[in-house]
Structure 1
């Protein structure tokens, strides 16, 4: 079975989640339990301080993304400045969900930034050296997230355990960047 929206097979995705459990086992002892105990269900919990919106949904069941749930995730993670919606890369949504489960918290992520339109990215780039010209946010492949119950280091370790993309620690601003690009990490 091949999911054409991500170009990844079910076997590859399940392999990635299995690798998450093995890699994270020394630090996150419940990772293997998450994979066995939850079955093949993926859930995403977030809120936006910018829009006041919240989502708490199962977006994947037994090897299939739920179309309406994915649409809702795309809308929720839109560029709130321009209201532009982009199809988010589901690999990144999977990384976010897996990292959240590894941290064993019921607190939803606070979404600081999901999709960014080129206009928004250019504006942010003019104000900060930390905004990439070709940011993965503009491709729907990145999110900046915060949890009040976990430190930036704890969040970054959970995301890095997924080995699915880039993880940036922004301790001064109290958030973690997660993307589904090349596996790498940065920040303090």
Structure 2
């Protein structure tokens, strides 16, 4: 079964688990208020790391508050595995990921290809590929590269772009979508 990540967050988490079928996640930006209407009181993120095999399926936001322990688990899973270094992932990126996942109506967790990147890792990857930005938002904990087996790159990118909350890059040749909380923009094929 591999490594499994879980946390204990008490009574509110138990109540949230019962509401899991009504999970709705949305970033809190001016362009996405439509996603907030009718939303539940919880946000959930599901993903596993392609590099470490770790898994995460958890409620990270309840009743208008982020769960600190949950965010620590997200930060750990999204760490730079090459340097074994973490940062505080920007909650706006996590919200975009969760909102896009919810919009696609899938139960399959994201496959995380890249989350946080240390400057050393980013420089190494940049030396090997033209597709790595010198000032990548990955180094600020503001980006993630994700894949779903049950959805195409175009489907994932459309869901993320519909949030109008950050950058969305399609990398069809490598079968992943980049999501970030930077300026609203799209690129790729």
TM-score w.r.t. length of structure 1: 0.83
Alignment-derived partner of residue 109 in structure 1: 110
Cα distance in structure 2, aligned partners of 1:16 and 1:90: 16
1:185 is matched with: 186
Whether 2:151 is the aligned partner of 1:150: answer yes
Q: How many angstroms apart in 2 are the aligned matches of 1:61 and 1:178?
A: 23
Partner of 2:137: 136
Aligned equivalent of 1:13: 28
| Structure 2 gap segments, 5+ residues each | 1-26
User: How far does residue 40 in structure 1 lie from its aligned partner after superposition?
Assistant: 1.9
Aligned residue for 1:60?
61
Give runs of ≥4 in structure 1 deviating > 2 Å.
Answer: 14-19
Instruction: Say which SS state the counterpart of residue 174 (structure 2) adopts.
Output: coil
Deviation of the 1:16 alpha carbon: 4.9
Partner of 1:91: 92
TM-score with structure 2 length normalisation? 0.83
Q: CA RMSD in A?
A: 1.5
Whole-angstrom CA distance in 2 between matches of 1:104 and 1:74: 24
- 5+ long unaligned stretches in structure 1: 1-11, 22-31
CA contact (8 A) 2:79 2:115 kept: yes
Q: Distance in 1 between matches of 2:31 and 2:164?
A: 8
